[in-house]
Amino acid sequence: MDNAAQPHHMDKHTDKVTLTNGYWFYFRDENRQFAIHGSGYSGKESVYLNDQLISSLRNYRRHSQHQFNVAQDNYRVEFNVTSILKGEIVCSLYKNEQLLETETKAYTQDTTSTSLKKIGLFFVGGIITGALAGLIAAKLFG
């Protein structure tokens, strides 16, 4: 039997993080397959066990956790946002307080300085666009 976790049916891009697809993390423990999803825009987090939703919440903070029991085992899933600029999230699965696995995914693989440069360019572009729109409006209506 293949020990790799299979993608959830709602995961449209498997390894790619997008605003519409969000963040998908996959873990396997014994015969239990966990698919963990974090929305790219709504803050909704969902934990699936063998394709059944077992935990869901909305979170807008940098850290969250889901706790649940399966048979005699206590599980915890933790989300940690490690970089807001890169959209980087670390997802960890714990079983009976022992770390089983951790996976990191990011919206962009850019470095922090590259991300800041892009934000700066958008900011400057917005200023120029706003100034041009103001000049045009002044000429037309002024």
Read off the pTM: 0.70
The domain in which residue 11 lies consists of: 1-109
Integer-rounded Cα radius of gyration of the chain: 20
Least confidently predicted of 1-5, 53-57, 62-66, 108-112: 1-5
Residues 104 and 128 in one domain: no
CA distances (Å), 89 to each of 1, 23, 62, 102, in order? 30, 8, 9, 10
* Tokens encoding 60: 């807008």
pLDDT per position as a tens digit, 53-90? 999 999 989 999 999 999 999 999 999 999 887 889 99
Residues 66 and 85 in one domain: yes
Q: What is the CATH number of the domain that holds 65?
A: 2.40.128.180
Calpha distance 12→22 (Å, rounded): 10
Residues 89 and 120 in one domain: no
Which of 19, 65, 63 minimizes the C-alpha distance to 42?
19
